Amino acid sequence: MSFTLSILDQSLVGENENAETGIQHTVRLAETADQLGYHRFWVSEHHNNPQVAGSSPEALAGYLLAKTNNIRIGSGGVMLQHYSPFKVAETFHVLASLAPGRVDLGVGKAPGGLNLSTQALQEDYQASRKDFSQKLVDLKTYLTEHTNELNAQPIPRLSPDMFLLGGSIESAEFAAKLGISFVFAFFINGDEALLKEARETFQTYQKAGTRQQFLLAITVSVAEDPEQALSHIKQKETVKVSFSDGRKLNVTSLEDAEKLVKETEKEQYNIHVQKTGYTAGTKETVHHRLTELAESYDINEFIVLSPIVDIDERITSITLLKEALDQDQTNQIPINQEVNV
């Protein structure tokens, strides 16, 4: 089964590096991905995290569009709870006017950080989770409807493609009903039963005649030595914190979860540890694993997230993976070498 490869990069900051270097490495990776023929290159939004430099995907995307030629560039994603949908639409309309047909707008429900950064981002207004659905509806309206008195200028010739990022059945259903594409965050929650139900739900509710897609975001590490590839997978679990008011937040460790609930004080909560979805190994075995997932869940495009901090090894990983896809070696894969979850 054939599928398309895209990239999500978080602008990782290595030991003895600074955030500026992390951003520069993202630029280099995007240029390489463009040359290799990857379909999309997305950048993430994280706040107050010294290990992740990408805090403003809309700013970084503009620079990446200028530094690349063919690859689609976008956000993976803008954390809409912090922002005005109208302003987000204006920003991405500017980008789409600068690079017609090459701009994606991925939107996430998460805050992208813990309480301190969330409070700083929302200090001028009270944002609540219950209004996220309406904000997403408003954002889509500003991006696609231009006959009202209020328009998000400039109106580009080609509107940005819009995606909802999430890891739940409810999010998959909402995206399908709204008429936008959905990216399942398998790299956060690697539960295949949940993936299967989200895929079926999306297919049930997606609108006929639209270009909606169901994409899978997965952590991938590729190297000539399978053990070296596996050594880059440091995070095999994430932690979901569910609050009594319905909020659900994913964090990277139990330490972060405990910090989060401590800052939230007396609210009732539940902590659940979940396995991440990843594949690591040689280019043949990783390509085989992606093919299995594509066939099992009808996936036409993967968003590949690399956890490799060293930029040269990160570039090697995406190069080897693209070689495997281009060479179509699926039927010659030594399955016994595969290392994945």
For residues 245 and 322, membership in a common domain is answered with: no
At 243 the pLDDT is: 72
Q: What residues contact 267, with CB distance under 8 A and at least 6 apart? A: 243, 244, 245, 261
For residues 147 and 214, membership in a common domain is answered with: yes
Q: What tokens were used for 104?
A: 């994606």
At 333 the pLDDT is: 45
For residues 119 and 246, membership in a common domain is answered with: no
At 120 the pLDDT is: 67
User: What is the tens place of the pLDDT at every residue in 212-232?
Assistant: 999 999 999 999 999 999 999
**pTM as predicted:** 0.88
At which of 253, 275, 297 does a domain end? 275
Alpha carbon distance 280, 260 (integer Å)? 31
**Segments of the chain scoring below 50 in pLDDT:** 127-129, 329-330, 332-333, 335-336
For residues 126 and 105, membership in a common domain is answered with: yes
For residues 256 and 152, membership in a common domain is answered with: no
For residues 326 and 261, membership in a common domain is answered with: no
Domain count along the chain: 2
Contact (Cβ atoms closer than 8 angstroms) between residue 103 and residue 61? yes
User: What is the tens place of the pLDDT at every residue in 22-75?
Assistant: 999 999 999 999 999 999 999 999 888 888 999 999 999 999 999 999 999 999
At 329 the pLDDT is: 39
Range of the domain at 295: 4-235+276-340
List the CATH number of the domain containing 18. 3.20.20.30
From residue 317, how far is each of 33, 41, 245, 300 by CA, in Å? 11, 15, 41, 21
For residues 21 and 70, membership in a common domain is answered with: yes
For residues 84 and 37, membership in a common domain is answered with: yes
For residues 125 and 252, membership in a common domain is answered with: no
State the pairing for strand pair 237-243/248-251. antiparallel
For residues 178 and 327, membership in a common domain is answered with: yes
For the beta carbon of residue 265, count every other beta carbon within 10 angstroms: 6
At 335 the pLDDT is: 47
For residues 26 and 164, membership in a common domain is answered with: yes
Contact (Cβ atoms closer than 8 angstroms) between residue 220 and residue 317? yes
For residues 160 and 219, membership in a common domain is answered with: yes
